[in-house]
Structure 1
Amino acid sequence: MSDLKTHYRTCNICEAMCGLEIKHQDGNILSIKGDKEDPFSQGHICPKAVALQDFYNDKDRLKTPLKRTTDGWQELSWEQAYDEIATRFRGLQAEHGQDTVGVYLGNPNAHNFGNAIMLPRFFKALGSNNRYSSASADQLPHHVASNYMLGAGMLIPIPDIDHTDFMLIIGANPIVSNGSLMTAPGVGKRLKAIQDRGGNVVVVDPRRTETAKKADQHLFIRPETDALFMLALVHTLFEEQRVDLGHLESIIDGLDQLAEAVKPYSPEAVADACGIDATTIRNLARDMAAAKSAVCYSRMGASTQSFGGLCQWLNNVLNLLTGNFDRRGGAMFPQPAFDLVRDKKGKPSSYGRYQSRVRKLPYFNSEFPVATLADEILTPGEGQIRGMITIAGNPVLSSPGGARLEQAFDSLDFMVSVDIYLNETTRHADIILPATTGLEVPHFDVFFNSFAVRNTAKFSEPLFEKTPEQKHDWEILRDLALHLTGREDDGVTPEMMLDGGLKHGAYGEQGMSLATLKANPHGVDLGPLQPCLQQRLQTEDGLIHIAPQLYLDDLTRLNASGLLEQARNPDYPYAMISRRLTRSHNTWTQNSHRLVKGKNPCTVQMNSADAARLSLEDGQLARVASPTGSIQLPVEINDDMFEGVVSIPQGWGHNRTDTGMTVAESQPGVSINDVTDAQRIDALTGNAAFNGTQVAIQASCFLP
């Protein structure tokens, strides 16, 4: 028996970047704990990290390429797989055009160091503009706002939670999410610290979330009215002459246009629609303006709705107008060691460079909105997608209109999936290429250091070496690119590209390099966030554009929506929202027994008054229906819900046939995306609108 060993790494399941201390011996993991010496997470850990060992040891995990045949799935060699994929994809492109092969990227790509760096090479080799990802079912409104206001989609303002005196949280549950576009492990302690130093935390949400329960104040709001609420806050700041632009005053453009645009949205005008009285709205605006430092943070509830673009624009506007942009305790900008924004100034935006073929939705950040992927596959004509490759994603459960997407994948001429599981999406593939997973891969957070509440950097070596037969995701993509182009491998690796980026980044002159990070396995602390926007601003004219015309134009759509008149469809009188679960992240995390054990979390939560009105009892099976489908799941009566609003977690429903995730399949649960509608989007950005889906609810039967 060999000696007990300790391995330090960053957890790459979610974006919290928690440092881990893993004790192991003879290939067996003995414990996974938080790394107290990690300068960023300082010992914090959530339940998901402990499951890394489950995915490494999972008997359901695929390890060799598989091909669909009439006799079922059969193994084939890597070379056979590459040759067939290259032949089939190039054949389709030769006959129907380059864009006839589509690409879908799942959320785990953002947590995969190799893919994050090497995917552009694969895209170039494939040569198709038909690219889609989970980003347009998530955070796209944030990127569009930064693009138009600050000149770069990745220049996202991050709440300086560790120094603020007033935090307004809209449609976010960071205690459960660990921050999400505010990478901040241990959010609960950070929020408590605000209160301990005499500050205040206010949460605005249709559900009294885990975060709301720890806040000083929680305000219920009707789904999809967040933009009206935020417009009223901005209106109040102008009307009461509480605007203070601080040190950025000389570089803010469009203030007069903004002041004129918000005049119709007084608190009195929007109060009934939002469900928040006018006095409360005015007092909230006053409190934010008067605080020593303050920050507004809005996330999924505000993004994944019909007016997500307006919400994220107005979030930035509120921070700007109160003098809390690029200021300690306000919305600040990380300076990551590997900088995705550096040297982007003056480069033209890709927003709207192309439009999707069927629904004319905007192209942004080299992709089209995933809400229209099924349209592009199922609608005949020039440019129709006939071949597809999905990479680390399960859009059948995670994207809107999952049932129609299943139909679309079934209709393809040829489909490939790069994935470790036979799941609800990959079961439609002709060839599955399995990659290594968490503990077998090196890791550096390419994206989430750009969203972190403190500047740090850390590189993690693999804990376990992969077998000679296994390949990393980036190696699979590299080999596919070589087979598609017929070129020779140039030997470039993700580590080489990371090293170059570190040496030429903001800390390169101080000796930052891959070698530096390898010599510091706990990570390197680069200090708190500092005012730096005037150096990092990427607009061509060097100005912050506070009122881009496309946002002002979108107010017309908001006014015509019927929200101000509280218009509702009487056939579908309830508004559905999703909810985040502590022990769940993506659909694949449900194949860990330790993450799914216990009480069934996949329930429809509703207020007791709504349950009484529908004659529903706690635990009773209810049918939730929308114009696109229906699902059945248990009722959970919960007065943490706003009346007229119901909540269901997203990413469940492992009940399709011919899949191979035995733990997930054994769990109860349904897919919320069997009732969401891919036609419901934020028209400004193309982001999917899950929240606010109108549903009808009725009793089904009692569970046995």
Structure 2
Amino acid sequence: MSETNEPALPVTQKKTLCRICTAQCPIVVDVDAKGRPLAARGDKNNPHSEGFFCLKGKHYPEIHTADSRLRHSLARGHDGALAPIEAERAMDEVAEKLGAIVAEHGRESVAVYMGTLFYQLPQTASVATAWMDALRLRLRFSSGTIDQPGKQTAAAAHGHWLAGSHVFDESDVWMLIGTNPLVAISGGIPHANPARRLKRAQDRGLQLIVIDPRRTETARHAAIHLQPRPGTDPAVLAGLLREILHAGLADEAFVREHVDGLETLREAVEPFTPEVVADRADVDPEALVRAAHVFARAKTGAATAGTGANMSGWSNVTEYLVLCLNTVCGHYRRVGDRVANPGVLTTRRSFRAQAMSPYPVDGFGKPLVSRPDLPPAVCGLPTSALADEILHPESGIKALVTIGGNPMRAWPDPKRTRRALEALDLHVCVEPRLTDTAHLADYVLAPKLPLETPGCSLSTENLFTVSPALGYTERYGQYAPAVAEPPEGSDLREDWQYFYGLAKRMGLSLEVAAGVFPIMGCATPRSALDMENEPSSDEILDLVTKDAWIPLDRLRRDRTKVLFEDEPEVRVEAADENAGRLDVGSALMLDELRDFATGDRFARTGFDYRLISRRMANTFNSVGTDIDALTKRYGTNPAFLHPEDLEALGLSRGDLLSLRSPHGRLEAVAWPDPDLRRGLVSMCHCWGGDSSDGTDARKSGANTGLLISVEEDCARFSGIPLMSGIPVAVSRA
């Protein structure tokens, strides 16, 4: 926060939600008489979070008041420099230029990239999507295809169980693959106070199984921790399935009534004996067998995979085998079971004990010109190919709109990304900071930040549609009023207002959908917006929570009530005439398992280490990397190695080291981590630039994207490249 000499002003305490990450923790913010947020802390009176929050939340006000925050939108002038521009004029110019590009080159000339923060604010996701729909834009790319795209492809090949999975708070066993929720505050253990919830669950008998190359903060609490080589999750999962089937531990009644493909699956996993898995993954075969028995014998539970598993080269088959584990063991709700959290702000619906059959994985239109081998799939267009698509002479992309993301930090191969962004005729960013990406934009539309806007807990509640282990485990919902004012003298709009403004100027009619993510087996309510009289942000929130279990207005009127366990119970109903069958024998997915079984296709001679991804507790992707208090512990994103590896390389903590892959090179700060397997380097992504400015890794961090190829080792369907488990050589810088 910038220092001032002004006298102290009266301070009030206001309750709201932190929206820096998917946890969206309830917080209390100190706000002065001018509406400036001064400090934040967890809301100890909130029965959902019990006062939990993290260091990011503590410094959330600083993100709003930092000198680096944009107070005005920017436009690139004739001199090539970015200069302030009035928000209304910026929308006038952007609408005119986009309209001209579409008129001359067609709708395939405009692409949109939606980063992770796009989904944090329901109003932004709904109105921006409505704008894309109205303009009939096909070229929509998201962070999903460089994060966990296997979830969508696997679900399409497998099908959905419409009664839902068991939630963490009611489970006897829980399996986490390549995810560390005690640090990420997401990814498998309830977002609100995950450490306390894990302890309570273990006190009542829950058995935690973790599969991760690191002895992570979560793995330290595991009853069984399998610590495989990176990129060998398919071997471990196939080995677990083989043992379950050999031991007769499958839920035969459930499989017989609801599942196809068991014999095909049995044949596919048969080669993965404990000894074969031990050789390929370097795990204890006895621990593998024990994990299989613990997971299968539990009455309730679930398995889920995270970013690490998806980035390691085998996202589709890894996520598919996770679903097969849950299905073969029958870890789903049945007729008459109580639904722990049917929902608060998501669309009211039935929970039926039936399957929704598999649906197409790919074939959704024509492929990108630059990647004819990747036909559009259910997970979305391949973001890893977007830079090449912009640069391809036959693609025709002239304009890009970036929302809630930082491609220069997040996309693989930042040097290629820079060339692509510089080649555009028009690049528009909706961004509150002058990020590496915004520096390259033609227009930067500066938004209000969440403490200055109303919101609610819908986005995180809706995450259950992405994975059975995400979302809320209890019937929780909260309205978050705007508690702070925008900076004095600023000219800002809410993110969604820019897209409403563009639509109005372009003569488009908008229709918003309820929810942030679609719910399988449930019709999505839709509402037309008044294009003459701009709705308020609260009115947009009412539309995106239309037909919810509990009207948002109830939460507005009584902000002290956030748990709704006193609502009538919802139980799983019997199947109707539309019941389908789940498939654990998908040829598309099991072909990948056979490919995996042929050997390590990512190994490269002379590159003896493997670089794996990790989360850091005090930053969220690139957010927070410019706040000193959040980076104080390390000052950067170090390259973690086992202490014995550092010693063998002649390196000490704080030394600069060089990492070289077959694709590129970076420098990073060495740091010891005894919880790593030997032979690994572990780094957090979304730091640093493209190295073109020669910045010091000690100050700006290192961008792991420099080591990633978007041409080799890309997954089928999503195109996600090898982003973890990358072969690297390590030496002193």
Question: Structure 2 length normalisation: TM-score?
Answer: 0.86
Do the aligned partners of residues 188 and 590 (structure 1) sit closer, same or farther apart at CA in structure 2, a change above 3 Å counting? same
Match of 1:692 in 2: 725
Do the aligned partners of residues 672 and 665 (structure 1) sit closer, same or farther apart at CA in structure 2, a change above 3 Å counting? closer
How far apart are the structure 2 equivalents of 1:689 and 1:121? 33
Query: What do you get for the CA RMSD once the two structures are aligned?
Result: 3.3
Match of 1:463 in 2: 483
Determine which of 50, 54, 67 is the counterpart of 1:46: 54
What per-residue deviation string (whole Å, max 9, x for no partner) do you get for residues 233-276 of structure 1? 00111111110156675222332332232222222222211111
Contact 1:141-1:687 at 8 Å conserved across structures: no
**Structure 2 matches for 1:475-514, cutoff 5 A?**
475-485=497-507, 488-489=531-532, 491-492=534-535, 495-500=538-543, 502=545, 504-505=547-548, 507=549, 512-514=550-552
Determine which of 114, 118, 123 is the counterpart of 1:109: 118
| Pairwise CA distance, 1:210 | 1.2
Does residue 599 in structure 1 map to residue 634 in structure 2? yes
The code of the aligned residue for 1:689 comes to L
Match of 1:677 in 2: 709
Match of 1:520 in 2: 558
Match of 1:380 in 2: 393
Does residue 426 in structure 1 map to residue 428 in structure 2? no
| Pairwise CA distance, 1:3 | 5.8
| Pairwise CA distance, 1:111 | 0.8
Identity of aligned residues (%): 26
Contact 2:610-2:681 at 8 Å conserved across structures: yes
Determine which of 344, 348, 353 is the counterpart of 2:364: 353
The code of the aligned residue for 2:479 comes to F
Do the aligned partners of residues 498 and 544 (structure 1) sit closer, same or farther apart at CA in structure 2, a change above 3 Å counting? farther
**Structure 2 matches for 1:643-682, cutoff 5 A?**
643-653=678-688, 667-679=699-711, 680-682=713-715
| Pairwise CA distance, 1:435 | 0.5
How far apart are the structure 2 equivalents of 1:348 and 1:285? 29
Contact 1:158-1:181 at 8 Å conserved across structures: no
Do the aligned partners of residues 351 and 458 (structure 1) sit closer, same or farther apart at CA in structure 2, a change above 3 Å counting? farther
| Pairwise CA distance, 1:278 | 2.4
| Pairwise CA distance, 1:35 | 1.5
How far apart are the structure 1 equivalents of 2:418 and 2:574? 47
The code of the aligned residue for 1:578 comes to S
Contact 1:319-1:331 at 8 Å conserved across structures: no
How far apart are the structure 2 equivalents of 1:148 and 1:535? 24
Equivalenced residues, count: 684
Deviation larger for 675-684 or 641-650 = 675-684
The code of the aligned residue for 1:475 comes to Q
Match of 1:222 in 2: 229
Deviation larger for 451-460 or 319-328 = 319-328
Does residue 320 in structure 1 map to residue 327 in structure 2? yes
Do the aligned partners of residues 531 and 619 (structure 1) sit closer, same or farther apart at CA in structure 2, a change above 3 Å counting? farther
Match of 2:593 in 1: 555
How far apart are the structure 2 equivalents of 1:616 and 1:386? 47
Match of 1:36 in 2: 44
Contact 2:613-2:723 at 8 Å conserved across structures: yes
Contact 2:414-2:705 at 8 Å conserved across structures: yes
Do the aligned partners of residues 80 and 499 (structure 1) sit closer, same or farther apart at CA in structure 2, a change above 3 Å counting? closer
The code of the aligned residue for 1:698 comes to S
Contact 2:345-2:552 at 8 Å conserved across structures: no
| Pairwise CA distance, 1:283 | 1.7
Determine which of 86, 92, 97 is the counterpart of 1:83: 92
The code of the aligned residue for 1:215 comes to A
Match of 2:467 in 1: none
How far apart are the structure 2 equivalents of 1:219 and 1:77? 56
How far apart are the structure 2 equivalents of 1:178 and 1:641? 21
- Structure 2: gaps spanning 5 or more residues: 1-7, 463-470, 510-530
| Pairwise CA distance, 1:115 | 0.7
Do the aligned partners of residues 342 and 98 (structure 1) sit closer, same or farther apart at CA in structure 2, a change above 3 Å counting? farther
| Pairwise CA distance, 1:646 | 1.0
Does residue 640 in structure 1 map to residue 675 in structure 2? yes
What per-residue deviation string (whole Å, max 9, x for no partner) do you get for residues 593-617 of structure 1? 2212233352111123433443333
Match of 2:613 in 1: 578
Determine which of 307, 312, 316 is the counterpart of 2:314: 307
Contact 1:333-1:533 at 8 Å conserved across structures: no
What per-residue deviation string (whole Å, max 9, x for no partner) do you get for residues 582-637 of structure 1? 10103132222221223335211112343344333333221001122111112223
**Structure 2 matches for 1:558-569, cutoff 5 A?**
558-560=596-598, 562-563=599-600, 568-569=603-604
Do the aligned partners of residues 346 and 240 (structure 1) sit closer, same or farther apart at CA in structure 2, a change above 3 Å counting? closer
Match of 2:103 in 1: 94
Do the aligned partners of residues 443 and 425 (structure 1) sit closer, same or farther apart at CA in structure 2, a change above 3 Å counting? same
Contact 2:453-2:537 at 8 Å conserved across structures: no
Match of 1:588 in 2: 623
| Pairwise CA distance, 1:147 | 3.4
How far apart are the structure 1 equivalents of 2:671 and 2:704? 16
Secondary structure of 1:595's partner? helix
Secondary structure of 1:337's partner? coil
Determine which of 600, 616, 629 is the counterpart of 2:664: 629
Deviation larger for 100-109 or 246-255 = 246-255
Secondary structure of 1:577's partner? strand
Do the aligned partners of residues 232 and 248 (structure 1) sit closer, same or farther apart at CA in structure 2, a change above 3 Å counting? closer
Do the aligned partners of residues 651 and 178 (structure 1) sit closer, same or farther apart at CA in structure 2, a change above 3 Å counting? same
Match of 1:127 in 2: 136
Match of 2:148 in 1: 139
The code of the aligned residue for 1:114 comes to Q
The code of the aligned residue for 2:101 comes to L
Secondary structure of 1:554's partner? helix
Do the aligned partners of residues 631 and 64 (structure 1) sit closer, same or farther apart at CA in structure 2, a change above 3 Å counting? same
Contact 1:453-1:528 at 8 Å conserved across structures: no
What per-residue deviation string (whole Å, max 9, x for no partner) do you get for residues 125-182 of structure 1? 3332111111111122223333343359xx8966622232322222111100112365
Contact 1:156-1:333 at 8 Å conserved across structures: no
Do the aligned partners of residues 296 and 449 (structure 1) sit closer, same or farther apart at CA in structure 2, a change above 3 Å counting? same
The code of the aligned residue for 1:478 comes to Y
Do the aligned partners of residues 657 and 606 (structure 1) sit closer, same or farther apart at CA in structure 2, a change above 3 Å counting? closer
Contact 1:495-1:514 at 8 Å conserved across structures: no
Contact 2:260-2:582 at 8 Å conserved across structures: yes
The code of the aligned residue for 1:485 comes to G
What per-residue deviation string (whole Å, max 9, x for no partner) do you get for residues 70-120 of structure 1? 162222223332232223222222332211111111111111121122122
Contact 2:621-2:685 at 8 Å conserved across structures: no
Contact 1:146-1:156 at 8 Å conserved across structures: no
Match of 1:436 in 2: 448
| Pairwise CA distance, 1:533 | 6.9
How far apart are the structure 1 equivalents of 2:159 and 2:76? 48
How far apart are the structure 2 equivalents of 1:149 and 1:332? 22
Do the aligned partners of residues 158 and 308 (structure 1) sit closer, same or farther apart at CA in structure 2, a change above 3 Å counting? farther
Do the aligned partners of residues 696 and 346 (structure 1) sit closer, same or farther apart at CA in structure 2, a change above 3 Å counting? closer
Contact 1:17-1:183 at 8 Å conserved across structures: no
Match of 1:405 in 2: 417
Match of 1:614 in 2: 649
Deviation larger for 259-268 or 228-237 = 259-268
Deviation larger for 415-424 or 363-372 = 363-372
How far apart are the structure 1 equivalents of 2:722 and 2:588? 19
Contact 1:362-1:686 at 8 Å conserved across structures: no
How far apart are the structure 1 equivalents of 2:24 and 2:690? 32
What per-residue deviation string (whole Å, max 9, x for no partner) do you get for residues 367-388 of structure 1? 412111111111111x332211
Match of 2:83 in 1: 74
Question: Structure 1 length normalisation: TM-score?
Answer: 0.89
Determine which of 395, 402, 405 is the counterpart of 1:393: 405
| Pairwise CA distance, 1:477 | 1.0
